[in-house]
A = this chain, B = another copy of it.
């Protein structure tokens, strides 16, 4: 199989560099260019590294940054992975799609557009079909978004529970990692020994995106799922891995055992098709009393390409008809670049590329 040429936009940022990490030696995709602002033009990846846990292969470290240029990207790449700040991502993605590029983005700019799917392949693979409604772009161009990082972590277990029991209300509190704010991101004087109970726009994203992801997509557009979501979001001094505490009011009665069973059995096309970045189990349920923990479980999912692609769930409990649980997902892998790479893998296998 001939590999599809891809570009990484925003390659000097945290998300851009996770894209590069996940695309190194990818069986479907070949990195054709790393794009960033003019300031970084000509710099090697080695000189602008931000991701803290990774050993990149030497050849990748030698790749150089180029100044972003829409027509250049369109000429050289069929796919663009976007890790730009939202304000810049909005118009850039539109132009790329108009130029015939398939855009897989981590930015939030187009997520709530009426014809853009927020795709999580195990949950709503059918939403991918909505790219056909993005007619104006033509030439094969379209935009597919992954969900916001803390939305993604919650979406997978909630989808499993919704399918088995229905959902009435979900209460979510987040314990979000520092890498979610990029680099330089959160000042250390705000982070060390502290919790900051505010992340701009985050609560709104969690509350609105879940309804779109778990809803239906059809000829008339998206039909949103109808359940209440109430989110409180905070930043904690952790490098990678968003923890979330949930209380869930299900539609029909759910026991702890039945919930665990539903979570562990949950799977979808990524597992059926054996997509390269798919973890064996999208949801891993921990039985220990004090798990999951960012220090131990952020990279759950497997080794290699699927590392950090599973959501870990623990402490599933029941009280007065509600299910309580903690979950953890890697915010820049499954909840960021990994999510979009998985989306692109599905799109390719389903012939959208």
Contacts and interface: CB of A to CB of B under 8 A. Distances in A.
B196 A189 contact: no
A189 B185 contact: yes
B188 A192 contact: yes
A313 to B, nearest CB: 11
A239 B52 CA distance: 14
A303 B171 contact: no
Please tell me the size bucket of the interface on A: 35 or more
A175 to B, nearest CB: 5
Contact of A189 (B55, B184, B245, B303): B184
Nearest to A172: B173
A136 interface: no
Copy number of this protein in the oligomer? 4
A237 to B, nearest CB: 5
A111 interface: no
Interface stretch (A121-129, A138-146, A251-259, A290-298): A290-298
Contact of A236 (B195, B289, B291, B296): B195
A194 interface: yes
Interface string A275-292: 000000000000001111
Contacts of A195: 175, 236, 238, 243, 293-294
Interface string A244-277: 0111000000000000000000000000000000
A314 B194 contact: no
Contacts of A52: 189, 295-296
Query: What are the 5 tightest A-B residue pairs by CB atom distance, in nearest-first order?
Result: A173-B173, A184-B187, A188-B191, A232-B245, A198-B290
